[in-house]
Amino acid sequence: MMRQKKQLNRIVGIWIMVILTFLSGCKDEDVVPIESVDKFIIYMRSTGDDSNSGLSFQDAVKSLDRVHEILLNENPVRDIEIHINQGTYFGQEVEWSFSNGHSITFTPIDFTSDRPVFDGQGKETWFKLRGEQGENTNLNFRYLKVRNYKLGIFLRGNRNDLVNGWNGNNSIYGMYFENIGNKFTINQNYAFAVIDLVNSRDNKIENNHFVNVENNTPEECSHLHAVYLAHYSSNNQILRNKFENICGDPIRVRDESNDNRILDNNFKKTGDRAFFSEWFCRPRPTDDPDNPRCTKPGGECPSVRNEFRNNYCDKNYNQERPNLFLLHGDENHCGQLQSPRLSTSGNVNN
C-alpha cells in the first residue's frame, strides 16, 4: 500500500512539473482570458487603427464599420461583445446587417464615470440596422453617448412584409442621446426620430436620456419624435426613460404597431401637441396640406392595445400643458376595431 502511494505521489508530481513548465514558457499575451472562451470580443479605441485585428486592446480598431467587417469575415457563432474605450469617436456612421442568433452587445470597456462618445458632427444616422429576414437580431446598446446626428438608431425591417420582414429582441439601455435632429446637422432635411423602428418587435428601450431633440422649424418639429414605432413595430417596451427639451411629440406609434407598453417615463419640456400620439397615413386629395403623400402599398391602419401608464408629464416644448395623448384618424378606417387603440392610467400631466 505504501509503495502504491509513493508511485501515485510521483505521478502527480511529474504532472505538476509538466504544467508549471508549460505555463512558464507562455507569454502574457498568450494567456487567453476566461471570458473570451465564451464570448467573441472586439476592442475599439478612439486612437485605434482600422488595419488592426481588433481582437485585443493593444490591437484595437477605431470604427464600427471595421467591427462590422471583422464579424462578417470571422462569422463567430457565439455571443459577441464590442468593448469601446472611453474617448470621442467623430463622424461615424454604420449600416449593420450581421446577425448570428446570439447576442451582440456594444458596451464601454469599463464602467467609469465617462461614457464613450459618438459625435456625428452633423452626419445623418449613427447606427442603421438592415434587418429584414424575419429573425431576432439581438443587438444590445449599453451606456454610450450619441450626439450631433440627425437620427440616432434606426432598426429597419421591411414595412411591406409583416410576416417575414421583421427584426427583433434588441435592447437599448442606459444610453444618452443629445442634440439629435436637423438643427444639429448641416444641410439635412427634417429628422423623424432619435430611435426609429420599422417592423421591429419585442425590443426594450429602458433607462435612457433623450435631451435636446429638435428640428429647425415648428412645422419640421411636428415630424420629430424621440421614439417612433412604425409599420408593425409591436410588443415593444419603453420604460423609465427621461425625455427633456424635445420639440415634437416624444412617442409616436404608427400603422398597426400594437401591444406596446410605455411605462414610468419622465417627460419635461417635451412634446408638440401630446406626449403620446398615434397616427396612420390616410389617402386624401393631393392638395390637402395635411396629406404627406401615402406611399405604402395597401395603405395603413390604426394601431391597437397600446398602453401609456404611470408617466410623469411636465409641460411641452413651449412650456404649455398639451394633451396627454392624441389618436389621429378614424379608428374604423380598416374595419371595425375589436380592441381599444390605447389604454392609460396613473399618468401625471402638469
Hey, what domains does the chain have and what are their CATH numbers? 38-349 (2.160.20)
CA pair distance 305, 338, nearest whole angstrom: 10
What type of residue is 87? G
Let me know the angle formed at the C-alpha of 171 by 91 and 316, rounded to the nearest 5 degrees.
75
CA pair distance 138, 155, nearest whole angstrom: 11
CA pair distance 110, 349, nearest whole angstrom: 38
The average confidence (pLDDT) of the chain is: 90
Tell me the pLDDT band of 113, cut-offs 50, 70 and 90: confident
Q: What is the rounded average pLDDT of the residues 237-264?
A: 98
User: Does the structure show a pLDDT above 80 at 21?
Assistant: no
pLDDT in tens, 291-301: 557 888 888 99
SS3 21: helix
For residue 291, the model assigns a pLDDT of 56
For residue 293, the model assigns a pLDDT of 74
User: Does the structure show a pLDDT above 60 at 224?
Assistant: yes
* Three cell numbers, residue 110: 469599463
Q: What is the rounded average pLDDT of the residues 173-183?
A: 98
Three-class SS string for 3-14? Answer: HHHHHHHHHHHH
* Three cell numbers, residue 218: 415648428
CA pair distance 287, 113, nearest whole angstrom: 53
CA pair distance 248, 223, nearest whole angstrom: 7
Q: Which residues contact 18 (CB under 8 A, 6 or more apart)?
A: none
SS3 74: helix
For residue 271, the model assigns a pLDDT of 94
Q: What is the rounded average pLDDT of the residues 220-229?
A: 97
For residue 166, the model assigns a pLDDT of 98
User: Does the structure show a pLDDT above 50 at 246?
Assistant: yes
For residue 277, the model assigns a pLDDT of 97
Cα torsion for 333, 337, 339, 344, to the nearest 10°?
30
Query: Could you tell me what percentage of the chain is helix, strand and coil, using 3-state DSSP and rounding each to the nearest 5?
Result: 15, 40, 50
Tell me the pLDDT band of 20, cut-offs 50, 70 and 90: very low
User: Does the structure show a pLDDT above 80 at 307?
Assistant: yes
Q: What is the rounded average pLDDT of the residues 33-41?
A: 67
User: Does the structure show a pLDDT above 50 at 227?
Assistant: yes
For residue 84, the model assigns a pLDDT of 98
CA pair distance 104, 107, nearest whole angstrom: 10
Q: Kindly report the pTM of this predicted structure.
A: 0.87
Of 333, 339, 205, residue with least CA distance to 279: 333
User: Does the structure show a pLDDT above 60 at 8?
Assistant: no
Of all residues in the chain, the percent with pLDDT exceeding 70 is 87
> What values do phi and psi take at 241, rounded to 5?
-100, 160
